[in-house]
Structure 1
Amino acid sequence: MLPKRSAPLVFIGPKPKRKRKMIPLYEKVKILNMLREGMKFSAVARSYGMSESTIRSFKKEEAKIRSTVSLNGSQTLKRVISNRNKYIVRMESALVRWITQCREKNIPLNTVAMMEKARELYQELAGECRQRDKEDTTNDDRQQGESTSSEEPMEFLASKGWFDRFRKRYQLKSVSPHWESASADVEAASKYPETFKALVQEKGYKPEQVFNMDQTGLFWKKMPTRMFLKEEAGAPGFKGQNDWVVLIMCGNAAGFLMKPALIYKSANPRSLKNKDKSLLPVFWMHNSKVSMSKARVTEWFFESFIPQAKLYLSEKGLDFNICLTMDKASCHPVDLFYEGVHIEILPPNIQPLDQGLVQTFKALYTRNIMQHIVNGRSSDGTIPVGELWKKFNIATALQVIQGCLEELKPETVNACWKKLWPECVHEGEGLSTEEIQRSAVDKAVNLAERLGGARFYNMTPDDLNDLLGTKSDPMAVIDISDLTKPASEEAEQESDPSQEDGEDKDLSFERLSVMFKMAKDLQGMVDAWDPDMVRALQFKNAIDAAMQTYETLLTTVKKLPQRLHITQDKPTVSSEETIEYPEFYGLLPLEAPDEEALNEEL
C-alpha cells in the first residue's frame, strides 16, 4: 500500500495586494514626447521598465495629461485632473509654488494661513477672468459675427475638505501648524529677560559685546500700484517689479550697527560689473533663489561678523568676548563656533532688531525711493515715472540702502533692546522707531503729492504701509502670473541671459569712440550756450582731465589690432615673442579701425 502524500499547504485569507506605483505626470509627458519623436512602444517600455500596455494607456490619455500639466505645471502631481474648474486648478498650482517659496525663505505656515492665501489667489484669478471677459465682449461688439465664451468662476470657500484633498493631490506631507503654539511663545518670551540678565552677569558682558542678528526680506524694486501713472499701469504687459533681496542686519546693545549683508540673485550684476564689492555699503553674497541657508549664514559669520566685531572691539579697547543672539531658524547652523563667541538662541517675539528697527529701515527705504523719483522728474517733468523706474537698478538700491543706514542713529538701535535688556537702554535719547517710521511714511506721502497725477493724488499712509508688513508674508505681493508660470517656462527664463541682470559687453573701440564724441559735443554746447567764458573754460578743462584716462585706453586699443591676424579668432604667440595685452577690461576688435575716420569724428 502506497504511503499517503501530505496535502499541500494552503494559505487561508486574502492575498496581499500589489502596491500600485503612481508615476508623476511630468514623467508621463517625457514618455509621450519620446513616442512623438518616433520611438516604438516596446522600446519606450523597455527603457522605463514598464509593460507595453501601460505605455499605450498613457498614449490614450495624452490630451488629458498634457492639458493638466499645461494648467498646473507642478512636478508632484500624479493624477489627471478632469471635470474641474480651471481657475481652481490654476489657483492650486499657484498655492503650491507659494508654499514652496515660503519654505525656501524659512517663513512659518499653518493651515489657516494657506487656506486664506488660497482664497486670495482665487479671487485674483476670478477678477482677471471677469476683466478678460469684459474686454472680449467689447471686441465682439466691434467685430460682428464673432463670439467668445469662457468658463465663469464658481464660488470658492477653501473648506477643510478641499484642503485635505489638496494635500493628497500634491503630496504635501509636512504641513504642520507652526503658529498654534503662539501663546506658549509669548509666555516664554516674557520670562526670558531674567534668564538673559543672569547670563550677562555671569559672563561679564558689556553692551558693546552683546550683538543681535536678524534677517529680513526687502523688495528693493517694488512700489504700490498707485505709484504708477494711470496710462503706464494700464499699458499692455505692465507689471510692478518684485525683485527680492535678503538683508542680514546685526547690531549691539550699545547702538552700533554693523555693515549688513545682502543676498542677491547673481554674483556679478551688470550695474556692479568691475566694481570692488569690498567697498560696497553691504557685504555682498549671492544665491540664485535669494534665500537664507546655512551656507550663507556661515559665510556671513566668518567673513563679515567676526572681522567687523574684532575691529570694533579693538577700537573700543575691549576684549574679544562676544554674545551673539539670534532666533531659532532652520537656516541658522547649530555648529557655529569661534573662540570668544557665545551664541545664544532667543525665543520668538523678543529679538531686539525685530522690535521696530527692521520696519523703520523699510519705511526709510520707501521714502528715499520716492525722493529718488521726485529728484529724477525735477530736472525734466516730461519724463514718465516708468522710464525712471526702469533705470533703477541694484547699484542705485545700494545707494538708497546706505542712506537709510546713515539715518539709523545709535540711540534708535539702543532703544530696541528695551524688551530683552532694559538696563542697557538710555531712556529719552533720540526718536523712537515708531516716530521715525511715521515721519518717513508721511514724507513719502508728501513726495507723492508733489509728483501729482491721478495715481499720486490723495495718497494715504495705508498705501505705503502695505509694503512695510511683508516680512511674514513676502509672497503676498508677488504677481499671480509668476506663481502660475509652468516650471519649464521658468527654467527657460532663468537660463536665458537676456532675462537676467547678468554680464554685459565691456569697453570696446566703438564705445570709446562714442564716449569721446559725446564729450566733445557737450563741450561744444557749453561753449556756445554759456555766456560766462571763464566758467565754460573751466568746465571744458574738467572734461578733458576726466577723459584723459579713456584717451590713453583708446590709443592702446588703436595700436593693438595691428599686431593681430585678422583671420584668426585668437592671437598666436610664438616662442620668441610675447604679446603684452593692455590692462583694461575690454573687447578687442579683430579688424583694424579706420584711424582717419576716427580723427574726423573726434
Structure 2
Amino acid sequence: KRMRTSTHSDIENCLLAWLCQARAQSILVSGPILTEKANQFAVQLGVENFECTNGWLECFKARHGVSSRLVCGEANSAPQLLINEWKSMTLVAILAQYEPRDIYNADKTGLFWQLLPNRTLAFKGEKCSSGKQSKQRFTALLAANNDGSGKRKLLVIGKSGKPCCFNGIQYTANKKTWMASTIFEEYVHTLYHDMIQQKRKVVLIVDNCHARPCITGLKAIHLQFLLPNTTSHTQPLDSGVIRIFKFHYHHDLAMCTLRAADSGNTFKPDVLMSITIRKKAWDLVEKETIANCFCHCGFTHEQPAGKDNVLEEESESEESSHFNNTVDQLRIIGLWPTDVSQDDFIDVDAVVSVSELTSDSDIVVAQSTIDKPDHDDDAEEDENDNDTDIQHPPIKIAAGIAAVDTLQLLLAQQGIGDAAY
C-alpha cells in the first residue's frame, strides 16, 4: 500500500525538525505534545482551519518512522540497553551490508584556536556558547571510514566570510562558528557527489544532533543516526580519533610557542596559521589509529587482541615523549604553568559548544524561506570581530625559495634528514 504524502508539508517539516531536536536532547515526547506543537506551528505559519487529528499524527509518525516506546527503569541503565541494541541489531546489519571502506563516521568538535598553555585554566571546562572567549572558538568536522583509507578533508567553520585561500580543507563561516543544518547538508552533498563519481554506496554514521537535517534523495549515501547519549560507546571518532587529532594540534601550538621564545618573540597564532596547523594535525592521524577506534566501537566481526586501548598506544609514542620534552622546556622559561598538565592542554576544549538549539520561530522562518533564492542568514559581518580576519601579506616566490634553502641548510647543519619533516 502506497504511503500518502502530507497535505500540510510545511507543518510536517517544522514538527519533524522540532522532534529531532527534542530527541537529541533526550526530551521525552508524547502524542499529545506532538499534537500541541503541530497546532502551534500551524498558527505560526498562518495555516487556517488546521487541526492535528489522531489520523494526521499517525500518518506523520508512519512516514518518519516515529514509534512509541515504554520508558522505565534506572536512568543510568537506559544508555547501556540502547548501546546493546545498537551493537546487536543496527551495527550487525551495517557490517553485513557494507564493506569497511564504505562505512564512514563524521563528528564535530570545538577548538580554541588562539589558546596557549598559560591560558588553559581560564578556559578548561567552559562551553563558551557566547561571550569574549567564544570569539576564539572554531568548529571542525572530521570524517573517516572504517579501515582508515578514506579520511575526508577537514571542514572548518570560522567567523570570517572572506578568509585566505586554504588548501586541503573545506572552509565555511557563520557569526557564531556553529555547526548549522545548512552546513551539514552541504557537506553531505559534497560526499554524495564524490561517491557518485566513484560509483560507490556508503553509510555515513553521525550523532543525533539537532543540527542534523533530514536529507532526501541520497541514493549513494545512507544516513545512520546514533541514539542520544550513546556516542562515547558507539561513535569511533569520539572514541579516540578526535583526541589524537587535538593531541597533534596542541603539540604543534606548544612547539610554535617554544620556537618563538627561543627567538625572543611572543607567539600569537592567526587564522591562517591555526588552520594550517589543524590540517597538519589531521594528516598526522594514521589510518591504523582510525581503524583501531572503529574496532574499539565494535565495527568488526572479530576483535583483534591488544587493540582495546587506542590512546594507551598513542601515549607511548615517540611524539608523546617529544610533547613531554616541549612541556618541560616551556615550564623552565615560565610559559607553561606548573599546575597545567599535558592532558589539561589537550582536553581544554573537550566540552565546547559547537551547535545551537533552534527556536520554534527559527524553525518556522527556515521553512518559510526554503523556496526563496539567495537567502543568507549570515550576510552581515560583525565589524568588531577583526581578530578572525587577520591576513598574511602576499609572500613573493623568491622569498619562499630563500626560506626553503635556509631550512635545508639548517637541517644539514643539525644532521637531520628531510624525511623527519
**TM bucket normalised to smaller:** 0.5 to 0.7
Whole-Å separation in 1 of the counterparts to 2:392 and 2:286: 41
Q: Does 1:265 align with 2:152?
A: no
Offset at 1:470?
3.0
Are 1:192 and 2:71 an aligned pair? no
Q: Secondary structure at the match of 2:192?
A: helix
Structure 2: distance between partners of 1:330 and 1:504: 34
Residue 354 (1) aligns with residue 231 (2)? no
The CA deviation at 1:226 is 6.1
Which residue number in structure 2 is paired with residue 396 of structure 1?
273
> Which amino acid in the other structure matches residue 306 of structure 1?
Y
Counterpart pick for 1:220 among 113, 119, 126: 113
- What do residues 517-545 of structure 1 show as CA deviations (whole Å, max 9, x unaligned)? x98xx9xxxxxxxxxxxx9xxxxxxxxxx
Deviations 1:309-350 (A, max 9, x none): 456xx4xxxx51211111111100123431121111122231
Separation of aligned partners in 1, 2:388 and 2:24: 26
Distance across 1 between alignment mates of 2:333 and 2:134:
20
**Higher RCO (C-alpha 8 Å, min separation 6):** 2
| Distance verdict in 2 for CA 1:499–1:262, change over 3 Å | closer
Question: Which of 189, 192, 201 in structure 2 is aligned with 1:306?
Answer: 192
Deviation at 1:186, TM superposition (A): 2.3
Cα offset, 1:445, TM superposition: 3.5
CA deviation digits over 1:370-414, x for unaligned, max 9?
112223333x2x22xxx321xx11211122122212221111000
SS of the equivalent of 2:218 reads coil
How many Å apart are 1:471 and its aligned residue?
A: 2.9
Alignment of 1:101-116 (within 5 A): none
* Cα distance, 1:281–1:437 mapped onto 2, change above 3 Å: farther
Q: Deviations over 1:73-130 (max 9, x none)?
A: xxxxxxxxxxxxxxxxxxxxxxxxxxxxxxx9x99699xxxxxxxxxxxxxxxxxxxx
Tell me how far 1:500 sits from its aligned partner: 4.4
Aligned letter for 1:447?
A: T
Shift of 1:465: 2.3
Tell me how far 1:190 sits from its aligned partner.
Answer: 2.3
Rate the CA distance shift 1:424–1:289 in 2: closer, same or farther, 3 A: farther
Q: Is the 8 A contact 1:207 1:253 kept in 2?
A: yes
Say whether 1:206 aligns with 2:99. yes
Q: Aligned pair in 2 of structure 1 residues 425, 223: CA closer, same or farther (>3 Å)?
A: farther
Aligned partner of residue 187 in structure 2, secondary structure: helix
**Following the alignment from structure 1 to structure 2, what is the Cα–Cα distance between the partners of residues 373 and 505?**
19
Cα separation, 2, equivalents of 1:456 and 1:497: 29
- Residue of structure 2 in register with 1:433 after alignment: 311
Query: Are the aligned partners of 2:117 and 2:337 in contact in 1 as well (CA < 8 Å)?
Result: no
User: Is contact 2:24-2:209 (8 Å) kept?
Assistant: no
* SS, match of residue 388 in structure 2: coil
Alignment partner of 1:415: what SS? Answer: helix
Q: Deviations over 1:167-208 (max 9, x none)?
A: xxxxxxxxxxxxx945312221123112134413653x1001
Identity, % of aligned pairs?
A: 17
Structure with higher Rg: it is 1
CA contact (8 A) 1:215 1:247 kept: yes
- Describe how 1:5-404 pairs up with structure 2 within 5 A: 181-200=75-94, 203=97, 205-225=98-118, 243-256=136-149, 257-269=151-163, 272=164, 275=165, 277=166, 280-303=167-190, 305-310=191-196, 314=198, 319-347=199-227, 348-349=230-231, 350-378=234-262, 380=263, 382-383=264-265, 387-389=266-268, 392-404=269-281
Q: Contact conserved, 2:272 with 2:391, CA < 8 A, in 1?
A: no
Work out whether residues 226 and 455 of structure 1, in 8 Å CA contact, stay in contact via their aligned partners in 2. Answer: no
Distance in structure 1 (CA, Å) of the matches to 2:187 and 2:309: 30
In structure 2, the CA distance between the partners of 1:240 and 1:324, relative to structure 1 (3 Å rule), is closer
Aligned equivalents of 1:472 and 1:218: distance in 2?
10
Q: Deviations over 1:125-151 (max 9, x none)?
A: xxxxxxxxxxxxxxxxxxxxxxxxxxx
Q: Which amino acid aligns with 1:263?
A: I
Q: Which runs of 5+ in 1 are unaligned?
A: 1-103, 111-179, 229-238, 476-493, 523-534, 536-602
Count residues in correspondence. 292
CA distance in 1, matches of 2:280, 2:192: 24
Q: Report the RMSD for the aligned CA atoms in angstroms.
A: 4.0
Amino acid at match of 1:423: H
Distance 1:289 1:242 in 2: 8
Gap change, CA 1:365 and 1:201, over 3 Å in 2? closer
For 1:309 and 1:372, locate their aligned partners in 2 and report how far apart those are by CA, in whole Å: 38
Question: Which segment is superposed worse, 412-421 or 498-507?
Answer: 498-507
Contact 1:217 1:245 in 2 (8 A): yes
Task: Check 1:264–1:497 CA distance in 2 against 1; reply closer, same or farther (3 A cut).
Answer: same
The code of the aligned residue for 1:224 comes to: P
How far apart in 1 are the matches of 2:24 and 2:345? 18
Q: By how many angstroms is 1:302 displaced?
A: 0.9
How many angstroms apart in 2 are the aligned matches of 1:470 and 1:226?
12
Contact persistence 1:212–1:326 (CA under 8 A)? yes
Is the CA contact 1:445–1:459 (under 8 Å) kept in the aligned structure 2?
no
Which residue type is aligned with residue 314 of structure 2? Answer: I
Output one character per residue of 1:524-579: Cα deviation in whole Å (capped at 9) or x when no partner: xxxxxxxxxxx9xxxxxxxxxxxxxxxxxxxxxxxxxxxxxxxxxxxxxxxxxxxx
For the structure 1 residues 187 and 472, does the alpha-carbon distance in structure 2 shift closer, same or farther, using more than 3 Å as the test?
A: farther
2-structure distance, mates of 1:324, 1:201:
13
* Unaligned runs of at least 5 residues, structure 2: 1-20, 28-73, 122-131, 355-380, 403-408, 410-421
Evaluate the alpha carbon distance shift between residue 309 and residue 420 of structure 1 in structure 2; reply closer, same or farther with a 3 A threshold.
farther
Shift of 1:462: 2.9
Change (3 A) 1:289 1:332: same
Could you tell me whether the CA contact under 8 Å between 2:95 and 2:300 is conserved in 1? no
Contact 2:249/2:281 (8 A) holds in 1: yes
Maintained 8 Å contact 2:207/2:225: yes
**TM-score normalised by L of structure 2:** 0.59
Supply the distance in 1 between the matched residues of 2:157 and 2:200 (Cα, whole angstroms): 27
Whole-angstrom distance in 2 between the partners of 1:356 and 1:368: 19
Q: CA deviation at 1:466?
A: 5.2
CA distance in 2, matches of 1:283, 1:471: 22
Please state whether the residue corresponding to 2:314 is helix, strand or coil: helix
How far off its partner does 1:361 sit? Answer: 1.1
